[in-house]
Chains A and B, each alone.
Chain A
Amino acid sequence: AQSVTQPDIHITVSEGASLELRCNYSYGATPYLFWYVQSPGQGLQLLLKYFSGDTLVQGIKGFEAEFKRSQSSFNLRKPSVHWSDAAEYFCAVAALGTSYGKLTFGQGTILTVHP
């Protein structure tokens, strides 16, 4: 079965600083990877997704992520963080086979942005 690990529970950055959120996955075949963002009490908004092709994926709100098969990672980056980026971020993986249609989430990383 697939799994996702987000090693950082909580990250604090200053506004304007760069950001990297880590995500490691475990899956036997080619994974389908996603990053979602969730503001308090809200649903999840898709930031970006990777299925195949170019390993550097561009998303909305200035985010990007890089798929590294050798490291089983799909880290999310942003060059300059805005105060409105404060939220919880979830990495997720979808898989085929018996889990067809199942999206598995990591535990999430809460981002705090200092002015």
Chain B
Amino acid sequence: DTEVTQTPKHLVMGMTNKKSLKCEQHMGHRAMYWYKQKAKKPPELMFVYSYEKLSINESVPSRFSPECPNSSLLNLHLHALQPEDSALYLCASSQDSGGLGGYTFGSGTRLTVV
């Protein structure tokens, strides 16, 4: 298995809702990442997990809460989002914690906040 799987593919949520994005990989990668991509922009790093511990938080608002239950799973919990949080959320993984072996990206979750 050489894929990163993200669910759901599309999500529409209200500003008072609580939802979660899920990411899964079975490549034995020890680092996992969340990126946010707005339309016509490059991906921007949000969080990095290395060996199931949060190693980088790019000053992301607390309404985004990451979780890494085990080495194969990465969640992003969403609460009280704003319409400007609408974007494509990409999960990625890499073999080593520095990402120097290359990153494998999932297909993303298209999030719309109404």
Could you list which residues of chain A lie within 8 angstroms of chain B, going by C-beta atoms?
Answer: 32, 34, 36, 41-46, 49, 51, 90, 94, 96, 100-103, 105-108
Say which size band chain B's interface belongs to.
Answer: 20 to 34
Chain B contacts for A102, CB-based, 8 A = 45, 48, 56, 99
Chain B contacts for A106, CB-based, 8 A = 42
Q: Chain B binding site: helix, strand, loop or mixed by DSSP?
A: strand
**Top 6 A-B residue pairs of the complex, sorted by shortest distance between their CB atoms:** A105-B42, A44-B105, A43-B107, A43-B105, A101-B48, A43-B108
Chain B contacts for A51, CB-based, 8 A = 100
A101 to B99, Cβ gap below 8 A?
A: yes
Chain A contacts for B81, CB-based, 8 A = none
A46 to B48, Cβ gap below 8 A?
A: no
Could you list which residues of chain B lie within 8 angstroms of chain A, going by C-beta atoms?
Answer: 4, 6, 31, 33, 40-43, 45, 48, 50, 55-56, 88, 90, 92, 94, 97-100, 102-108, 110
Chain B contacts for A45, CB-based, 8 A = 105
A101 to B42, Cβ gap below 8 A?
A: no
Contact of B110 among A32, A36, A41, A44 (CB under 8 A): A41
CA distance A49 to B99 in the complex (A): 12
Contact of B108 among A42, A49, A103 (CB under 8 A): A42
CA distance A107 to B44 in the complex (A): 11
B55 to A101, Cβ gap below 8 A?
A: yes
B106 to A103, Cβ gap below 8 A?
A: no
The residue in chain A whose Cβ has the minimal distance to the Cβ of B31 is A101
CA distance A36 to B37 in the complex (A): 14
